[in-house]
Each structure stands twice: as C-alpha cells, then as structure tokens.
Structure 1
C-alpha cells in the first residue's frame, strides 16, 4: 500500500484534531483511501503553545513543508487571506495537492486557485459547515440538477445566540457574553455576528451551484447585533422563527446572493436547526428539497471533512475544484441588491401622540409599500413601539422608505428591518 505524505500548516484546534484523527482511525482511513495517510510534519506560529498529544515534527517555518519534495499534500489550516493564498499558489506550483478549511481565502481566490491548479487536486470540504459534506453534495451528489435555491444556517455562534434569545427571553448582549464563556464565540466575534463568515461560505456554495464569481462586496450582507426581544415577540406571534440565513436563489438569468436575518415559518425544516448546529437546504429542479444537518464547527467535525478530502485525493478520484470543466450556464449574473424582493418586518419607535401612524403609512405608501400586519406595544415614557409587516416589496423601496422615516421628528431612533423569507 502506498504512502501519502502530508504537511499541515496551522496545527491549532483543527490541525491537532486532524493529526489525532489520522492516527486514531488510521486502519479504517487506510482501507478507504487505499493508501497510508502519514502526517510528516506540521507548522505552528508559536512552538510554546503546541498540543502535548501531537507527536509529529513541528516548526514555525512554512517553507519546511513547501520546500520538502517528499510532501505530497499541503493542508492549510492557518486562516487569513493573503498569506494563505500565497501558500496555496506555491504548493500548487510544486504540484502538491492542496487541502484547506479557509473560507475567507476561498471567498476571494477560489477561481484563481482553480486556474492555477490545472490537474492538481484541491480539497475544501471543511471550508463550509464544518463536518457537513455539503461541498460534495452540491458538486457530486446533486450534479444532475439545476439548483433552484440554497438556504443555509452556516454560523453556529449566531444560531446559538438567536436560539437562546428565542427560548429564554434574554438580550443579544447577554447571549453573546454566554457564547463567549462557553467557547462558541471568539473573543472578537465580529466576523460571525456581522454576517461576513456566512457570506464567505455562501460565495463558495454559489460558485459550485451556479458557476458565478461573486465577491463579498457584490452581495447583501447584514448581521444580527441589532435584534431585540420585540422582534422575537412578533415572530412568535405570527408563527415565525428568526435565523441568520445565507440565501442563494436562481430566478431567470439572475442569482440572488444575500446573508441577513430572516423570519421563516416555524414548520420549515431549516427553522428547527437550533443551538450551535448548522443546516443547509438545497432545492434541485429534479430532486426537490434535500436537507443537510450537523456540526458546523469544532476540531473533530472540521477534521472529519479535512480527512475526507485527503481520502479522495489518495483515491485519485477527485473532481474539478468547483465541480465543472466548462461554464455551467451562460448569461447568469448577480441580481442587483436594489432589485431583491421580499416581505419585510419593521420595528419603529415613535412618539406616542396623535397623527403618527398616518405619517408613517403615508411614507410607506409613497414608496409603494403596503402594510399587512400592525401591532402597537405599550407606550413607555412617551415612546410607542410599532411592529409591522408588509406585503411584498423590494430593497430599493424599503430602504428609501426607512431613510424618509428617519427624517420625521416623531421617529425616536432608526427603524429596524428584518426580511420575511417565504
């Protein structure tokens, strides 16, 4: 049985878990790979912080792996964008197979890598949804289908916070504090709670499903930090659950790509994904809806996906990086954000006095927006909270309406909006 020599750049939580998984399950892995997968060496930033259970040779010099002619596969688990991209290019230039869990780097450079790689395999299953094999499902299992839509809960930190707020009636800041204490959120969780982490992952999935080369700046990205219990109340009252969704939809020759909070019907499968778990719903034109659920982060779950790529490379059965050798569909373009259509929920804090509602409905009406549901919460210190939902409108109209509402002297603070995904 042949040996496949592996170098791991970034032997942190996921890297250490990968080393241990390859050792602890080596018999079954070798049987499935048809080869012995051997970690020859690893690279870490700080030699003093290495896991004592890791018995492979370690250094802090990336070139110890890149310049080693005996290394067959480079596994990049270091994070970041620019340095990681340079590592990938150098590995591929030396015809070393490349495996990564780096969604940020792929969000910007996935097409660059596909061009550079030619016939050198690249694996990136671990870059989206941790241990869920969503890359292989889209690229291989559903490859006969036109993908109608993808809706994903792709960030466990946000899902934990939203689940906690829904179930226990506590504030966003309290939930975030607890998520940090439990290790579900980083000390600086900005990329999680501002939606960017989910956006990176959505861009990867959209490339596989549609062959579109969008960048983060091209799509709608919003976070979760402004949600409060009034929003949870409204959702519960009308049968919705609030989730941070990564959404891709193909409508005609346009693809919508967006990440934002969404109210979704409680009966939908994806609404039941709770806590730190991830879930992805994919609808194909022939297969209908398929659902993928599991751990979206964590050392062991992510290592499971890293090793699955290593096994595929060892088998010489790898697919083209993004799953196609020629353009999937001609003429597809990214739908402008201003033209995205939805129903909307709006929370407005106003002065509690006569004539307020007529001014609000007038501005909404001037922008072609009609109200479907309206609730008023009890006034507090002369401030009333209006909770309303609209009939279908579009982003341009709703943003203009909110901007005009902010100019009214009866508005206490900027209205807050969540899309209703139906």
Structure 2
C-alpha cells in the first residue's frame, strides 16, 4: 500500500525531471477484493492492487496532465515529458491560478483494519449464509461482497501534501423467486457494520411479500420511497450545485439562488466530515473541503466553488474542485440530508392508498432544467391500502420532477448511508411524498 512517505519520494523523483513553473502529482488506487455469486453459487473471486499516477505541469498560463500506472524512474521521466509536451501546446488559460501551497485538513478516520484484513474465506462465509436463506425460502441468490483499501494523494511543487487512506466494504444481494425479487445493499468503511445475513433475510422477505404481483393502473399515487430510491433520484441534481454550472447557464439553479424550490422539510448540506460519509477531506486540487449548506428549509442557499470558479465569480472557494484541467469546475460530493422522525412502518401505517418503492433503476434525465426524470421500479414494489401492505405490484415506469418531488414530502425519516445503482452513496432519508407520477405498467 502506498503511504504518504512513498508519495513524497515519487514527487521528489518527478521534480528532478520537470522544468515546469509548477508541477502537481496526483496518485490514486488501492487494493480491492471481490466475491461474486449467482444461482446460489460463488462464481468469481478476484483481488487486485494497482495505482495510477498523473502529473500536471504549468508553463505560464498553459497546463496539461499526463497519466501512467508505472512507477519506475524511466516511466516517471516519460510521464513528466508527456505532460510538458502537452502543456506547451495548449492555448493559454487566462483564468488559471497558481497552485495552492501547504494546507491544513480536518482529521477523518475512515481506514478500518478489520476491513483491510477481510479474506476470501470470510466473504465466502457471508455468501454461504445468504445462500442458506435463499434455499430455505425456495429462492436463488445473486450479488457481490467487496472490500478494499483506497489511497488518494495530491502533492505539488509549492509544498502542498494531501494524503488520504480509507477502507470500504459493500454487500449487495438480490433474491429471485418465481414471480418476484427482493434486494438489499449496504456500504461502510467498517465491514463490521455490514450484516450480510440480515441483508439477505431482508431481500428474501421482500421477494416473498411481492410474489405474484398484481397490475395496478398507472397514475399519480401517494408514494413511500425507501432510501435507495431517494438516493438514485436526488443524485441527478447535485452537479447543478456548482458555481461553474450556474456561470455556464447549464444548471437548473441559474438565476434561482435564494429562491424556495423545495419543501420546508428539505435541508441539504455537503459535509465531508459527517460520520456517515466517505472520502478525503480535500478536493482535486488539495483544497480543504468546507461544509456548505446547499438547501435550507427548501430555500437554495449555496453552491460549491473551485478556486478558479470562485475567483471568476467574486467569492470564496469551498474545496469542491475537480483535478485540473477540466470542463466541469466543481460539484458537491458528500451529500447529507437532514432527517426526520418518521420510520417507514409509520409512513405505511399513515397511508390510505399508495405505493411503496424499494428501489429504482434505468433512470434517465428527460428535462435537465425542470429536473424531470424517467425510470422504473424494481425488486420490491407494493400496494398499500388502509395503512397496510396488501400485495406486490407490477413494476411501473415513472416520469417525475425532482422539484415537485421534494416539494411534496409529507414525511421524512431518519437518515442513513444509502447505496443504490445510479448515484454514489449519500446520507439520505426515506420519504413519503403526496404525489408520484407512474406513467405505465411494465410486464414484470
């Protein structure tokens, strides 16, 4: 595993080969292991360790980056030469700023030895327990169990040295019955927080409860969205909370900062140090990440800014920039919703007639400025009547605006670190919304 001292040695080697005005080194990678299973059998077990190194050079106001996955002296010399050659051929960037110097970062503890030490037999034992549950209930199990340790480091010739090491573990399981399916997933830096057996039992229960699903008419329903469904919907709007996106007028927030776009019960921050979050406390330039209030009681309060965007827009950087050069500028990456007190069972009990959605998939953006999305439900869609789940429902296609969705949340539940398929993990709650537009029924 690359440690901070080894990264410093690589930078020293690179600086020997560089005649640039400024030189930056970014190193990323780690050791990852994966166990994959399907049809109640493990069919893949892989492990790898690898790192990618990129060098950015600056000549005046020209800059470029070159990348390699080889760390021997000749490869380091070559990648510096390639970066320099590319930089000299670029058009000058009048907004390019000098690289930042040394920084101080908040301390985050996201490297857990228990996770780093997980072996293939340990993952296999977790899968065995999941398969036992599937076989007991006449189902078949499929999914993955992955663990690993990642490293991210940013160093430059002005003395900046940012280093982060974190572990990650993820268990995802789908239970298939003859006419239905169920799903559960959890992600954490600490593998001890992942109860694979409980997740498998939950997925199996969903598959059993949704068997022989009935077709319901399309239309607008009161809908309860589990955290994974909330995650995969709201993940489509956060690239818009970027100063550069607003500046380019490609954000739905253009001209709307300070306006009330969502309900009173919607407050969203970006907080890299939140205990349920992942990742480093610095951005792609090594700038410390600040806590940013994006939405407060429904009002759009703030955006994220890289150093370059902040200078152009006359404000302060928030530590959310992507590695330079790039066209995107910045975006929040540690989303945290404020939670409520209503549990999903309480939401169900309060619903006269509605739909419960476990998760969504195949989500696409229909209108980027109105934030209208389309997609489908899967792995557990239920009809609720008189405060109880009555039966499984055929899956729906939906068309829904995020602005409308987050304006009609009748109940908000406690937050959790949710994992889905369309967006990276975020800290989100379940939601009960007054209206969700299901446009057609699928055939499964």
Alignment TM-score, normalising by the size of structure 1: 0.25
Higher strand share: 2
Higher helix share: 1
Alignment TM-score, normalising by the size of structure 2: 0.24
